[in-house]
Amino acid sequence: MTAMAGLGIAVAFKPGRASAAASEIVVCNWGGAALEAFQKAYGAPFKAKSGIEVVIDGTGPATGAIRAMVDSKNVTWDATDGGMTDAVVLGKGGYVEPIDYSIVDKSLVGEGLAAEFGICNYTYSNVLAYDAKKVGATAPSSWNDFFDLEKFPGKRTMCKWIQGQLEAVLLADGVKPEEIYPLDVDRAFKKLEPLLPNLIFWDSGAQSQQLFRDGEVVMGNIWHTRANLLRKENPDYTWTWNQNLMFASAWSVPKGNPAGKKVFDFINSSMDPEGQVTLLRLMGNGPSNPKALALMTDEDKAVYSLAPENAKTGLAVSAQYYADNEAELQNKFLDFISR
Amino acid sequence: MTSFQRWAFCLTVPAALLTLCLYVLPILQVLALSFTEPTFGVGNYVALFQNAAIGRVVRTTVFVSAVTTVLTIVMSYAVAFALVHMRPATRRVALFMVMVPFWISVLVRAFAWVTILRRNGVLNSALVGSGAVSEPLELVYNQFGVIVGMVHYMMPFAIMLLYANLSEIDLRIIQAARSLGARPVTIFFRVWVPLSMPGLAIAGLFIVIFSLGFLVTPAILGAGRVLMVAEYISVQISSTLRWGVATALSTMLLLVVAILVALAMRSSALRAAFEGGRK
């Protein structure tokens, strides 16, 4: 029944063109510039080592899409690029394989980055980004400033997907970083409510960039990777690492993946520091392997969330907390912002 | 049945099979999921009525759809009415202009509206530049923007439906009314409008049904601030994995549309519209 039931929804997701032969690994990520970057950072080195082609499918591995594939027993992805939270949620639902740590070397990644159903492929942060030309002489330097409409008039942007949003609000409201979880949702909503008329909510990374380019917002809570792309376009757009909210992205392996155990060789290979630094240089996605730090120039470190200088005021977003609460919170948040 | 009719019937079989496998079956699966996910029973439907947030989503959807329908009908009627009265050469140009938006994807149109309506957009720049307003108006990322985008999307459909209806009205009836001394306003409200009821009914129904399921336009022009049913369902399917609630809500939406169609078919105007095709 579940297999049948999945079918209908699987059709709606258009699971992408890539269907895997045994001689390739299909990686699903979120498309755009990441298609080429993943190929250079992870695909090419693996092919050089093993002779196995890596195909990148940019369909976007939403948890719903993975579930639909697994339910319909029509899995075409070997490794998916999701959040650490997704890995826990999918693992709990039985939709992904446990990471085989007899093949993948756990010690390659930093502490807390290797979980049962997902291992961190890269890290990134939500940061306070701003338009230096619009904010005046003193730049905003903390989430407090995000709420200070007098000192920094103008619209702001936040993400309509919940992770990393209320943390910033609560930090601005004076909650200590170590007491952020469990999130005090009511307190956060109370703090956020007066700001709502000045908020535009982004739902894709590209949109968050566009809001800055169009001059619609003076500052925003956006991914540092996108802030980095913006800064490359125009140095007026920049960000502060202060109080950045650190995320771990993770590889997961959908249950019944076409390449079987071979995918874990790929995952292990993707932990090589060289490839990870390549990805950092191309997109700003930070290495999960601490050894990569030794290969970095100062310029690289300036866009790496886990560089000691940047990480010292950072807050690690709790994957476990969101695995337990995200669905509920996401719906509450959407309801709150659309009232 | 003659043998020709039998042949003609056989030719519809592949299409019917496709519809059955790719449309009816998945819909039944969705229906089944709404009763089995996460546990067996009617819990998802009970939850729909107890959840205040879903209530708000439904209210937003109904309100936006209603306003969209009324505005679309009024403006499309004016355009269709003008089309009927144009000289053929002018009408060809006008019809072409009505059709142009059909060739542009809904996504592109939504983004185009953002460009026009945003704070530093085309419209606000012109308004502020000319001194008409001192502060840019809030035209997008709210219900106003969503309704603008939806009305723009729906108007070509409504215009074509209304034009088809209006152009069938026998102009001799209008001449008769005029010759009997009716003034233009009277002719419009007592002759044109009653005779275009079938067109108005079918266009109205079409727009309501379409509006209730709008996804892309509200998502882009509402940017989180205007949450409608289709987007809510999409979030529950792809990110929160609450497939039970999502499928229950989809089923309700389907049911509402079915009821609307059934009710509408009871009205003589709509029956006339559908039967018009059979003459």
- Mean pLDDT, chain B, as a whole number? 92
Q: Note whether B113 and B180 are same-domain residues.
A: yes
Q: Nearest Cα to A263, choosing from A59, A64, A52?
A: A52
- Is the residue at A54 inside a domain? yes
Average pLDDT of span A112-132 = 97
Pick B238's closest partner by Cβ from A5, A65, A89. A65
Q: Is the pLDDT of residue A21 over 80?
A: no
pLDDT in tens, B194-210: 999 989 999 999 999 99
Q: Note whether B94 and B138 are same-domain residues.
A: yes
Q: Note whether B123 and B252 are same-domain residues.
A: yes
Q: Give A156's strand partners.
A: A199, A219
Q: Nearest-CA residue of chain A relative to B143? A: A338
Q: Note whether B15 and B122 are same-domain residues.
A: no
pLDDT in tens, B213-242: 999 999 999 998 999 999 999 999 998 999
pLDDT in tens, A241-258: 999 999 999 999 999 999
User: Which pLDDT band holds residue B276 (cuts at 50, 70, 90)?
Assistant: low
pLDDT at B165: 93
Average pLDDT of span A176-186 = 96
Q: Note whether A169 and A210 are same-domain residues.
A: yes
Q: Note whether B31 and B79 are same-domain residues.
A: no
Pick A8's closest partner by Cβ from B30, B236, B241. B30
pLDDT at B55: 94
Q: How far apart, in Å, are the Cα atoms of B275 and each of B80, B194, B202, B265, B268?
A: 21, 17, 12, 11, 10
In angstroms, what separates the C-alpha of A201 from chain B's closest C-alpha?
6
Number of domains in chain B: 2
Q: Note whether B141 and B227 are same-domain residues.
A: yes
Mutation site for A-interface testing, chosen from B61, B124, B239 by largest number of A Cβ within 10 Å: B239
| φ and ψ of A230, to 5 deg | -60, -45
Contact B224 A203 (CB under 8 A): yes
Q: Note whether A116 and A128 are same-domain residues.
A: no
Contact A201 B240 (CB under 8 A): no
Residue type, position B110, single letter: A
| φ and ψ of B211, to 5 deg | -65, -40
- Mean pLDDT, chain A, as a whole number? 92
Q: Note whether A253 and A239 are same-domain residues.
A: no
**B279, two tokens:** 């003459």
In angstroms, what separates the C-alpha of B177 from chain A's closest C-alpha?
51
Which chain A residues are Cβ-neighbours of B135 within 8 angstroms? none
Q: Is the pLDDT of residue A43 over 90?
A: yes
Contact A8 B27 (CB under 8 A): yes
- Is the residue at A311 inside a domain? no
Q: Note whether A101 and A10 are same-domain residues.
A: yes
Q: Nearest-CA residue of chain A relative to B58? A: A335
Q: What is the span of the domain harbouring residue A240?
A: 124-247+316-337
pLDDT in tens, A188-218: 999 999 999 999 999 999 999 999 999 999 9
pLDDT at A22: 58
User: Which pLDDT band holds residue A6 (cuts at 50, 70, 90)?
Assistant: very low
pLDDT at B37: 86
Q: Note whether B30 and B143 are same-domain residues.
A: no
Contact A89 B241 (CB under 8 A): yes
- Is the residue at A50 inside a domain? yes
pLDDT at A339: 84
Contact B36 A5 (CB under 8 A): yes
CATH number at residue A24: 3.40.190.10
In angstroms, what separates the C-alpha of B57 from chain A's closest C-alpha?
8
Which chain B residues are Cβ-neighbours of A7 within 8 angstroms? 26, 29
Which chain A residues are Cβ-neighbours of B239 within 8 angstroms? 62-64, 161, 330
Q: Note whether A220 and A333 are same-domain residues.
A: yes
Pick B141's closest partner by Cβ from A200, A330, A339. A200
Q: Note whether A12 and A152 are same-domain residues.
A: no
pLDDT at A159: 97
HSE of A320 in the Cβ direction (CA atoms, 13 Å)?
A: 7
Q: Note whether A219 and A274 are same-domain residues.
A: no
Q: Note whether A11 and A112 are same-domain residues.
A: yes
Q: Is the pLDDT of residue A115 over 60?
A: yes
Number of domains in chain A: 2
Which chain A residues are Cβ-neighbours of B137 within 8 angstroms? none
Q: Note whether A25 and A91 are same-domain residues.
A: yes
Spell out a b/e string for B34-59, using b for 16 or more CB atoms within 10 Å of the CB, else e: bbbbeeeeebbbeebeebebbeebbe
Contact B224 A64 (CB under 8 A): no
Is residue A52 a contact partner of residue A264, using CB atoms and an 8 Å limit?
no
Q: What is the span of the domain harbouring residue B20?
A: 1-36
Q: Note whether B147 and B64 are same-domain residues.
A: yes
Q: Nearest-CA residue of chain A relative to B21? A: A8
105-144 in B: which are within 8 Å (CB) of A? 118-120, 141
pLDDT at A120: 97
pLDDT at B278: 47
Q: Note whether A55 and A98 are same-domain residues.
A: yes
* pTM for this entry: 0.89
Q: Note whether B174 and B208 are same-domain residues.
A: yes
Contact B235 A200 (CB under 8 A): no
CA–CA dist A235, A310 (Å, integer):
19
pLDDT at A12: 47
Residue whose entry in the numeric block shows the structure tokens 């007026």: A236
pLDDT at B264: 82
Q: Note whether B270 and B173 are same-domain residues.
A: yes
pLDDT at B30: 87
Q: Note whether A181 and A229 are same-domain residues.
A: yes
Contact B223 A203 (CB under 8 A): yes
Pick B224's closest partner by Cβ from A5, A11, A201. A201
- Is the residue at A309 inside a domain? no
pLDDT at A91: 96
Q: Is the pLDDT of residue A1 over 60?
A: no
Contact B56 A5 (CB under 8 A): no
Is residue A299 a contact partner of residue A62, using CB atoms and an 8 Å limit?
no
- Is the residue at A149 inside a domain? yes
**B21 and A CB contact within 8 Å:** no
pLDDT at A19: 47
**What's the alpha-carbon Rg for chain A, to the nearest Å?**
20
Is residue B79 a contact partner of residue B159, using CB atoms and an 8 Å limit?
yes
- Is the residue at A310 inside a domain? no
End-to-end CA distance of chain A: 38
In angstroms, what separates the C-alpha of A211 from chain B's closest C-alpha?
10
How many interface pairs between A and B have CB atoms less than 8 angstroms apart? 94
Q: Note whether B85 and B4 are same-domain residues.
A: no
CA–CA dist A59, B35 (Å, integer):
30
- Is the residue at A111 inside a domain? yes
Contact A337 B29 (CB under 8 A): no
Length of chain B in residues, anyone? 279
Q: Note whether B16 and B127 are same-domain residues.
A: no
**A62, two tokens:** 């939403």
Secondary structure (3-state) at A220: strand
Q: Note whether A106 and A199 are same-domain residues.
A: no
Contact A62 B238 (CB under 8 A): yes
